[in-house]
């Protein structure tokens, strides 16, 4: 309907212009063939101007769509990261795995409490999700919470989650000697909380395999 109205307006406008042009040329004593050619050129000129205007309008609309899409992308990623953190906390391994296939998840993002997905899952003892996250090459296993305090390993030790601790201590480059704000290491935390099985696991990892702090790049 809008296109039809625009076309009708254009025809009316051209008709009025053509009549004025014919009258002007007639007063100048132009021949009919000259008048016909002049009118044809007039129509071509107006059509060309209209096409240019339409092209500019389409370009502006296209540009606006691209800008809107680029603005919505960060918000979409933020929403996916939030859902991923929630899945890690709830132990929803199916949802966590599904979200990781979207390529929208920042594996080292933080929730409102400053914890990464690995910290959340390890702290809650969700070993299936911990195992899945550790498959991601870009995961930072030694990432510290926003307070500069705990790592995923320390949180799993504090929670007494043996399976999670076992996976983390065997991960290449894991920092077994990180100290929290009180100067405690994961081994010391296991002793304080009387997590004897975890204590022995950590002790073996530290002495048997010679694992210490991750090597500097």
Output the DSSP codes for 130-150.
HHHHTT-TT--TT---TTS--
Summarised one tens digit per residue, pLDDT across range 6-21 is 545 544 555 566 556 5
pTM: 0.65
Domain covering 107-207 assigned CATH 1.25.40.20 in the classification: yes
Residue 74's pLDDT is what?
Answer: 80
Residue 141's pLDDT is what?
Answer: 97
In this structure, of 58-67, 120-129, 171-180, the range with the lowest mean pLDDT score is 58-67
Task: Give yes or no for a contact between 81 and 106, defined as CB atoms under 8 angstroms apart.
Answer: yes
More confident residue, 177 or 16: 177
Q: Which residues in 79-106 are b (16+ Cβ under 10 Å) and which e?
A: ebbebbbbbbbeebbebbeebbeeebbe
Judged by DSSP in three states, 13 sits in: helix
Instruction: Return mean pLDDT, the chain.
Output: 81
Domain residue ranges of the chain, discontinuous segments joined by +: 2-72, 107-207
- Residue 215 pLDDT grade (very low, low, confident, very high; cuts 50, 70, 90): very low
Residue 3's pLDDT is what?
Answer: 41
Residue 2's pLDDT is what?
Answer: 45
Given a cut of 60, whether residue 101 has pLDDT beyond it is yes
Q: Which residue has the tokens 């050129």?
A: 41
């Amino acid at each position: 309907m809008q296109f039809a109205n625009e076309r009708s307006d254009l025809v009316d406008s051209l008709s009025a212009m053509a009549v004025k042009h014919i009258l002007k040329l007639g007063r100048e004593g132009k021949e009919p063939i000259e008048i016909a050619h002049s009118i044809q050129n007039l129509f071509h000129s107006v059509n060309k101007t209209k096409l240019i205007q339409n092209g500019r309008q389409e370009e502006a609309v296209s540009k606006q769509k691209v800008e809107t899409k680029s603005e919505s992308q960060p918000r979409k990623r933020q929403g996916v990261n939030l859902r991923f953190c929630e899945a890690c906390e709830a132990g929803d391994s199916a949802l966590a795995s599904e979200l990781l296939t979207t390529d929208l998840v920042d594996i080292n993002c933080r929730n409102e409490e400053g914890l990464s997905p690995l910290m959340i899952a390890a702290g809650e003892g969700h070993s299936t999700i911990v195992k899945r996250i550790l498959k991601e090459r870009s995961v930072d296993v030694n990432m510290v919470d926003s307070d500069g305090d705990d790592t995923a390993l320390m949180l799993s030790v504090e929670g007494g989650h043996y399976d999670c601790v076992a996976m983390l201590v065997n991960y290449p480059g894991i920092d077994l000697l990180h100290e929290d704000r009180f100067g405690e290491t994961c081994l010391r935390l296991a002793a304080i909380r009387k997590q004897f099985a975890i204590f022995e696991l950590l002790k073996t990892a530290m002495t048997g395999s010679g694992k210490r702090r991750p090597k500097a790049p």
